[in-house]
Amino acid sequence: VSDLDPDLLARLPRPAERNVTLRLARGAEGHVRRGHPWVFDRAIEHQSHEGAAGDLAVLFDHKRALLALGLYDPTSPIRVRVLQRKKPVPIDEAFFARALDAAIEQRAPLLGTDTDGYRVVHGENDGLPGLVVDRYADTLVVKLYSLAWFPRLRDVLPPLHARLAPRHVVLRQSRAVQLLTADLYGLEEGQALTQGPLTTPVVFKEEGLRFEADPVRGQKTGFFLDQRENRALVERKAQGRRVLNAFAYSGGFSLYAARGGAVEVVSLDSSGPALAHAARNFELNQDDSRVAACKHELLCEDAFAAFERLAAEGRRFDLVIIDPPAFAKRQEEVGRALASYGRLVRLGLGVLKVGGELVMASCSSRVSVEDLREVTLQQAKAARRALRIELETAHALDHPIGFSEGAYLKCLFASA
C-alpha cells in the first residue's frame, strides 16, 4: 500500500462555500424526480449565480421543495450531475464513503471467482455520476468524466484508499476533461495520485486468466472489463473449435476461447500494439495446457477488409466473435451505426461454417438490443442463413444499469 500524495491533494481546488441554487423548467423536474442523474443546461430556468466546477448545485422545484443535490459543472452541457434526491444530506467524505461501501458490497460475489480486475464504481449507475473506478490487482484507476469531480477528490480518495488499500492510484480523464485540466491544477492524464513511482503495465486476473493492462495509456482504463461474462460464455462454446475474434484488442475473448479448448484462434484488429498486447497475454497464460496447445494467429488488418479476404480465400470458422468499438455516440449516428453492424453480421456469416456460432456485441448506448437483433436477423435472411438467436446478454454485476443511457452493452449469441 502506498499513501496518497499529500502535495497533490493539497493542490486540488475546493468547492465554493456558496451553493448554486437552481430551478428547472417544469418538463425537466419529472425527469430528475424519476431518478435521471443528468440535468442539461437547457433545462435550467433560473439560477442564483454562475458557479465553478464542483460547486454544490441545489435544485428546487416550482413549489420550492428540494428536488436534488448535485455537482455543478459550467464547462459541460450536463450542467448538474445528481448525487442525492429529496432529502438534504451533507455531500462530504462520509457521503462518498457510503456510496463506495454500497458499490463495493455489490461486487463482493466477484471476489470468489479468481478475479481482481473489475469495475468498482460505474458512474451514474452507482450513484456517482461521472466517476469511474476500475481495479487492476493492486492498482486503482480513477477516471473522471466531469471537471466537477476535482474539488471532490479530497473527499473521495481517502475513503477509496482506506477500503481497497491500493499500491497505486492512477488518474484518467475523459477527452473533454483532459482538454480543460492540463493547466488548471497541474494534473496530467495518467498521473499517479499515490506516492512513489508507478509500475506499469500491471498484471491482473479475470476468472483465473492473467492479463496485462496499461492503466496509464491503455484504451478506456486499460482493459474492457465489461465483457467478462460474455467471454466466459465463449469459453464454454470453444472446445475443438476454430475461432475468429474480430476487434480483438488485447485478446480478451481469444484467451477464454483458448482455455475453452479451441484448436485455433485468430485475433483480428487494425492496431498492431493491441495485437502485440494480445500475444503477451497468451504468453502470460502458457501454464494452462489448453492455452499452450491453442494455435494463436494475429491478423493486423481492417476488419471489414479482412472478413472479405478470408471469405474469398475460403477460410471458415466455427465461432466468430464481433465486438466493434461504439459506432453511435450520438442519436444522428444511429442509422449509420446499424448499417455498419448489419454489414459486420453479413461479413461474419461469410466466414462462419454452416451450423457455427456468431457472437455479436454492441457497446453503442443509442443502439437497442431490439435494433441489433433486427439487423442481425435481416442480414441472415438476406444471406439465406437459418440464424437462431440463442441468448441475449446485457451487463455484469460490476457494470450495473442505473438509468436508460447506462444500458450500453448488448451481446447476441446465435447459431447459423
Active site amino acids: 363
- Fill in the amino acid letter for 153: L
Query: Which is closer to ligand SAH, CB of 152 or CB of 296?
Result: 296
Minimum CB–partner distance for residue 41 and ligand SAH (Å): 31
Q: The C-alpha cell of 40 is what?
A: 442539461
Query: Which is closer to ligand SAH, CB of 302 or CB of 370?
Result: 302
Minimum CB–partner distance for residue 249 and ligand SAH (Å): 4
d(CA 151, CA 53): 8
Minimum CB–partner distance for residue 281 and ligand SAH (Å): 10
Query: Which is closer to ligand SAH, CB of 228 or CB of 241?
Result: 228
d(CA 391, CA 307): 24
Minimum CB–partner distance for residue 309 and ligand SAH (Å): 12
Query: Which is closer to ligand SAH, CB of 44 or CB of 225?
Result: 225
d(CA 207, CA 112): 9
CA distances (Å), origin 400, targets 70, 106, 143, 409: 21, 9, 17, 11
- Fill in the amino acid letter for 51: G
Residues that bind ligand SAH (CB under 6 A): 224, 227, 247-250, 252-253, 269-271, 274, 302-303, 323, 325
Minimum CB–partner distance for residue 243 and ligand SAH (Å): 13
- Fill in the amino acid letter for 382: A
Among 74, 175, 182, 78, residue whose Cα is nearest residue 124? 78
User: What pairing do the DSSP bridges indicate for beta strands 352-362 and 317-322?
Assistant: parallel
Query: Which is closer to ligand SAH, CB of 270 or CB of 393?
Result: 270
Query: Which is closer to ligand SAH, CB of 129 or CB of 222?
Result: 222
Minimum CB–partner distance for residue 267 and ligand SAH (Å): 9
User: Rg of the Cα trace of the chain?
Assistant: 23
- Fill in the amino acid letter for 18: R
